[in-house]
Chains A and B, each alone.
Chain A
Amino acid sequence: MAGRLATGGPALGAGPLLGRRGLGRNADPLFALLTAAAGSTVLVILGFMILTTTMTALPAFQSQGISFITSTDWDPSAGRFGILAFIYGTLVTSAIAVILAVPLSLGVALYVTEAAPRRLRSPITYLVDLLAAVPSVIYGLWGVFVFLPLFLQPASAFLGRFLGFVPIFAGPSSGLSYFGAGVVLAIMIVPIITALAREILLTVPTEDKYAAYALGATRWEMIRGVVLPRSRVGIVGAIMLGLGRALGETIAVALLIGARPQISASIVQPGYSMAAVIANQFQEATEPHIRALVGVGVVLFGITILVNVGARLIVMRMERS
């Protein structure tokens, strides 16, 4: 017999083990169900997200037809909703942001992992991560009142004066433009790309790096020859993540892009983006206008998902090869 002490310990006889559900054991299947349900809410929310927005926007899609996404004629008062200019603006500002941010992010990540004195690595990383925490409305506020007069206006004027013959830099500029929004966007996505790139760079084995040094390579040659080729896949992933973030960014762009619903070839001219038009025009919009704005959101969502999923697939394929 199981030795039981007389002090009233747990009354667990060695008797029948068969068919006895232990204390609280019945809760196990319930618990599993509960957690599975919690996990499934993510799917449910995502599903509803797509459903209700698409259904709300449907009348707008139907009334405009394909011209919804092919026309640049956005005139809510006349009931015409062509969002091509916004799609263009989103893509242009994001492209500017990525083109500016990637070299900077890579530079910072490489500096922090390879070239910085040991004492500076943590502080720099910490500060750059802090940049990621700054809310976008603050970037917008600072962008409009400080960055605009300090840098964007002179820079746009400079580009206009010396490179104005090139169409993408043409025309007078108040600083509020694709370029203005794009530069601030770049500052915003640098921390994201840097953080990820840093992680990727840290996975390069040190032995390979030392092998390059042992052959007489300079640090830059080692970076080009060993570190960058090894990190290519991860860095592509990081860039696409930054791109995804840039596509969806709303407030900073809304304040700096100039709010002009037209396509312009010059990046120093004002324009508009999908997220920005939603944020700017929502509060005064009436019903058909609101439906059109929801439609803009649906298209934006579609593009963002494509970029995100596409990025994942590309990374997976690159990893396999």
Chain B
Amino acid sequence: MNDDNVFSVKGLDVHYGGAPALKGVDMEIGPRQITAIIGPSGCGKSSLIRCFNRMNDLIPGAVVSGEVLYHGSDIYAAGVDPVVVRRHIGMVFQRPNPFPKSIYDNVAFGPRINGFKGDLDELVERSLRRAALWDEVQNKLKKSALALSGGQQQRLCIARAIAVEPDVILMDEPASALDPIATVRIEDLMQELKKEFAIVIVTHNMQQAARVSDKTAFLYTEVDEETSARWGILVEYDDTSRIFTKPTDTRTEDYVSGRFG
């Protein structure tokens, strides 16, 4: 167990109201690299990523078992407060969801609720710069965030997430609601961000995973013939180049070569 890893997952199971969604996932997320999670729809990619910051706790009836170590500490251990966990881990969602507040107040939200006492203006500017949004909004920080375009809103959400200075950013299909140009900008941004943050990205777009990530995890669904229950399993997890050129499992190979999806 390499403690340099940001996340170490062992035997992760997720159930929603008794029905299994994910079974037996083992993986490690290393620092300062981009890890993509791919797989056909319904295979539990979102459920997996939401385990990393205990967002699954918010879904009534969700049960998570197994171990998720964040820098060596199990975030699912008894007595751990999920609110504290989430302060260390940033998340960006599929549809940009800025608060109906000003651009400034969006970025400042996280620091403010965490009792930040330093120079807020400076922190906001730095976060917006790192999200490659500063130039476009520096003169309208007090304007409503909802006036921005979709791509800008998503970058704002990234700025908002990194303002609390996590060391890992989770992205659940961050570009799927954006047009191609905005998507490219997000992907370029990810390459910049990985110099400081570990990034875990869920994507249904294989080409994006191949372009952007250093390691890729492929999830696939398993079916119980009798009960027709379906759940996700981790089939293969390796360097991206390997997954896309010389995958070990036939299911991986079929998926990345587009035989199904």
Contact = CB atoms under 8 A, between A and B. Distances in A.
Interface in A15-61: 15-25
12 contacts: A1-B71, A2-B166, A2-B167, A9-B164, A12-B88, A14-B71, A14-B167, A17-B80, A17-B81, A19-B79, A20-B81, A24-B115
A194 B165 CA distance: 56
A54 B166 CA distance: 62
B49 to A, nearest CB: 19
Given A2-B167, A12-B165, 9 more contacts: A2-B71, A9-B164, A10-B111, A10-B114, A16-B73, A19-B79, A22-B81, A22-B87, A23-B115
A5 interface: yes
Nearest to A8: B118
Contacts of A23: 113-115
Given A2-B71, A3-B165, A17-B73, A9 B123 contact: yes
The secondary-structure label for the interface of chain A is loop
B224 interface: no
Nearest to B71: A14
A283 interface: no
Contact of B73 (A7, A18, A25): A18
A4 B79 contact: no
A259 B119 CA distance: 73
Interface in B42-79: 70-71, 73, 75, 77, 79
A12 B70 CA distance: 14
A238 B176 CA distance: 45
B34 to A, nearest CB: 16
A4 B85 CA distance: 16
Interface residues of A, number: 22
B122 interface: yes
A25 B71 contact: no
A16 B167 CA distance: 15
Nearest to B31: A3
Interface residues on B, range: 20 to 34
B223 interface: no
Contacts of B83: 22, 25
B229 interface: no
B130 to A, nearest CB: 10
B196 interface: yes
A20 B164 CA distance: 18
Interface string B119-143: 1001100100000000000000000
A18 B77 contact: yes
A19 B79 CA distance: 5
A10 B84 contact: no
A1 B73 CA distance: 12
Given A18-B80, A21-B81, A10 B164 contact: yes
Contacts of B111: 9-10
Contacts of B80: 17-19
A20 B82 CA distance: 10
Interface in B103-123: 111, 113-119, 122-123
Contact of A25 (B81, B123, B166): B81
